[in-house]
Amino acid sequence: MKTVKITDISQIPPEYMNTPIAELIGYQNLGKELHTCHSARLLVGMCMDNRKQLRIPENFAYILRTGGANLRNSEFKVSYAIAIGEIKHIALIAHNNCGMVNLASKKSQFIEGLCKNAGWNRDRAEEHFMNYAPMFEIDNEAEFVVAEAKRLADKYPGIMVVPLYYSLDDNLLSLISD
């Protein structure tokens, strides 16, 4: 996987120019002035991680936040944004240091946290982890979001789906290519 941090408009590939993907990058990375939007221009699928914040205008995007930007269990919402919201572009945003990477290493902390914070017993918490962790664990943030973008592009062939990478270090977006 190769990432290209966009720090100048000339780095945006021609196929993304004059699309909501270029607008998103412009707002986030290039300080583009926030304009009033009357309806959503794209769907953003991004991780639920609280350390990420997009700089975009109100009403600019539908945003689905899920662990690792995994939209497998959110397809009806994706379809809704496309069918009812008339969305033609999806930006899938991975980020560095994602908590969904190597979930197995967090098993004990997860179980203890549910027992302590939610009042669950240990067996229930462990069963919950074992049932769901395999669905949400990812090996590599960038590789996962590229594969997820390909999956969604195959499912919705009329939609442009673009994998992006968000750096927690500088809050900038990069394009990902494989």
Q: Annotated binding site for Zn(2+): which residue ranges? A: 47, 49, 95, 98
CA distance 167 to 172: 6
Per-position b or e across 101-126, b if 16+ CB within 10 A of its CB? bebeebeeebbeebeeeeebeeeebb
Please name the helix (run of DSSP H) or strand (run of DSSP E) that holds residue 150, with its range, or none.
helix 141-155
Side chain identity at residue 131, one-letter code: N
CA distance 71 to 3: 21
**Residue set of the binding site:** 47, 49, 95, 98
Q: Are 4 and 14 in contact (CB under 8 A)?
A: no
CA distance 173 to 3: 9
Q: Which residue has the tokens 């205008």?
A: 57
